[in-house]
Amino acid sequence: MKTATGLFDDYSDARAAVSALEARGIASDDISIVSNNADGRYDKDSNAAEGAGTGAGIGAAVGGIGGLLTGLGIMAIPGVGPVVAAGWLASTAAGVAAGAVAGGAAGGLIGALTDSGVSEENAHVYAEGVRRGGTLVTARVPDELYTEAESILRQSSWVDPATRRAAYNEQGWARFDDTLPPYDAAEVEKERLRNLR
């Protein structure tokens, strides 16, 4: 198994990528989505933690697509802050974060990504991207489907990690730091506008 990963500036692009992966036959259990929730677009009243697939809030936001997205829940990731997340990566990140407190391991999202085969360099870009308002989609796929899964992610307006790393580096960024405060709603909006240019 390999892990195909894509960062998206717009949640709807990430949603489209998840739908395309599911349409290709990749099981919901093998797909994860982690999206910044600093702006509170998904709140406790959305029933996200219980998997609101048809009601208000998250259920309405995802538009009834795919099994994975009906199970979105709200959680916090060290250094990233509040996110809505579903799937294996979210579970792994939560477990790694708990272990990091006891054992000094790498941060929750970084550790989960690198444990799944994502390079550490890209894992830092992806974690920072989510911290700054983005959405991360990951899919565990058989080796023979990896190229196709990556292609599906690229067709859905994914963010090239090398290009984004260079943009972050120009701002003085070197790597994801889970000790920094999470972005607030205003900072997330400013970052989203910057990325639209």
Task: Please say if the pLDDT value at position 127 is more than 60.
Answer: yes
For residue range 76-110, what is the model confidence (pLDDT) as tens digits?
A: 777 788 888 888 887 666 554 444 443 333 457 88
> What is the pTM (predicted TM-score) of this model?
0.80
| Residue at token pair 């799937």 | 87
Q: What is the mean pLDDT of the chain?
A: 79
pLDDT of residue 63: 36
Helices (H), the chain: 11-23, 58-62, 88-103, 108-115, 120-131, 146-154, 161-170, 185-196
Task: Please say if the pLDDT value at position 117 is more than 60.
Answer: yes
8-state DSSP, 159: B
pLDDT of residue 67: 47
Taking the C-alpha atoms of residue 102 and residue 96, their distance in angstroms, rounded to an integer, is 10
Domain that holds residue 23: 2-196
35-39, 53-57, 114-118: segment of lowest average pLDDT: 53-57
Angle at 2 between CA 78 and CA 135, to 5 degrees: 40
For residue range 136-192, what is the model confidence (pLDDT) as tens digits?
A: 999 999 999 999 999 999 987 899 999 999 999 999 999 999 888 999 999 999 998
pLDDT of residue 135: 94
Cβ atoms 137, 33 nearer than 8 A: yes
Cβ atoms 67, 126 nearer than 8 A: no
For residue range 53-78, what is the model confidence (pLDDT) as tens digits?
A: 222 233 333 333 444 544 567 777 77
Taking the C-alpha atoms of residue 2 and residue 142, their distance in angstroms, rounded to an integer, is 6
pLDDT of residue 76: 78
pLDDT of residue 98: 46
102: exposed, middle or buried (Cβ count in 10 Å: 0-12, 13-18, 19+):
exposed
Taking the C-alpha atoms of residue 15 and residue 157, their distance in angstroms, rounded to an integer, is 11
Total structural domains in the chain?
A: 1
